[in-house]
Amino acid sequence: MKFTVLAILAALFVIGCGNTAEGMKEDTAENRQKSAESTQNVVEGAKAAGDTFGAATMLTPKVKVALEADKRLNLPENLIDVDSTDEAVSLSGHVTSSALKDLATEITQKVITEAGSKQKIENKLEVKS
């Protein structure tokens, strides 16, 4: 009788361990899937943040180069500062005419469009004769 009880207990133990092992495999697979999904979400979030950061930081030098490349704007009497955020590209400083102020806006808009960005332009340039 003792042998039968021990055999039954041993069989239940083996079955229980088998179920536990199978459960652990399922839990591991489920956790692996959740971890992969979480990692993907983090990667996508970081990429989006990097894209936004990159767009604003890369736009400033592109606008500056484009403005400096124009002979009418690249004169000692004109001073144009450029700052970019996710929302806007700001032009500040001074130029010698309203036409040059408008030209700076046009050039900046062209750079924004070519970069595929959506920033608005804040032209704070003063006209100084």
Query: What confidence score (pLDDT) does residue 21 get?
Result: 61
Task: Write down the domain spans for the chain.
Answer: 2-127
Q: How many CA atoms lie within 13 A of 100 on its CB side?
A: 23
End-to-end CA separation in angstroms for the chain: 113
Output helix, strand, coil percentages for the chain, rounded to the nearest 5: 65, 15, 20
Segments of the chain scoring below 50 in pLDDT: none
pLDDT per residue as tens digits for the range 40-57 = 665 566 555 555 556 678
For residue 59, the model assigns a pLDDT of 93
